[in-house]
Amino acid sequence: MSSDTRDANTVLMNVEALRKNFTFEGETIPVLQGLDLTIYRGDMCSIVGQSGVGKSTLMHILGALDRPSSGRILFNGDDVFSRPDAELAQFRNRSMGFVFQFHHLLPELSAAENVALPRMIAREPKPHAVERAKALLEAVGLSHRLKHRPGELSGGEQQRVAIARALAMEPALVLADEPTGNLDQRTSDEIHELLVQINEERNIAFVIVTHNQALAEMMDRRLVMRDGVVYEGGP
């Protein structure tokens, strides 16, 4: 989405004065230090920064996997962390998709069953969830791998399954933490192109943490994290 088409009506997520501290041996260690960020519908954002600056911490909080020390996140105008833990888990499953460096697929399930899992957790009947999963696997180029288990798939194929799983609940936002960090260059390029294609075709917002400069430069917005805050295009 180009900057001239963004307005208040396209805002998906507002991050306001976000802080996260950790305690180690009695000492308070600040990681996020009053971070502000706006994510728009259909955004394609990369976040780069040196190791240890808090990129993964930020992603965990954006995805409601962890709570901030202070500050707030508004998603479609609603305060995410005003919810109790049980409601927060439901919100996370229904509104967010996640892709990690290590895909976290369940080894005993087929590709289709892994993709169907979020809908089954939401209590959709398994036959319906699996049919939806098959369509998503076809969309990521794996219609010929529906019944294969993760151990029977290449690294790139496993990551495609993970991407399809992230789309299972038709989320408005997908968070990806080093999604190609464990892949060779050719496979990484293919995954990069797939993420961009999904963004363009489905208008799903992506926030992608990466050390891969080529992937970062493919994004419409390039954010740099430094000193516990993020800068648009760099400080």
Helix pair 155-166, 126-139: axis angle to 10 deg: 120
Residue 183 has pLDDT above 80, yes or no: no
- Residue-range domains of the chain with CATH: 3-232 (3.40.50.300)
Whole-number pLDDT of residue 39 = 93
Region 169-173: mean pLDDT is 91
pTM across the whole model: 0.85
Average pLDDT over residues 224-228: 87
- Residue 212 CB neighbours (<10 A): 21
Residue 232 is predicted with a pLDDT of 83
Mean pLDDT of the chain: 86
The residue type at 96: M
Judge whether 111 and 153 are in contact, CB under 8 Å.
yes
Which residue from 138, 39, 71, 224 is spatially nearest to 234, judged by alpha carbons?
224
Q: What is the pLDDT of residues 60-88, one digit of tens each?
A: 999 998 999 999 999 998 999 999 988 88
Q: What is the pLDDT of residue 3?
A: 47
**pLDDT, tens digit, 9 for 90 and up, residues 96-146:** 898 887 778 899 999 999 999 989 988 899 999 999 999 999 988 888 989
- What percent of the chain clears pLDDT 70, i.e. is strictly above it? 94
Band of pLDDT at residue 4, cut at 50, 70 and 90: very low
Is the pLDDT assigned to residue 5 strictly greater than 60?
no
pLDDT at 136: 92
CA 213 centroid distance within chain: 18
pLDDT, mean of residues 173-202 = 84
18/1 Cα distance (integer angstroms): 25
One-character DSSP codes across 41-81:
TT-EEEEE--TTSSHHHHHHHHTTSS--SEEEEEETTEEGG
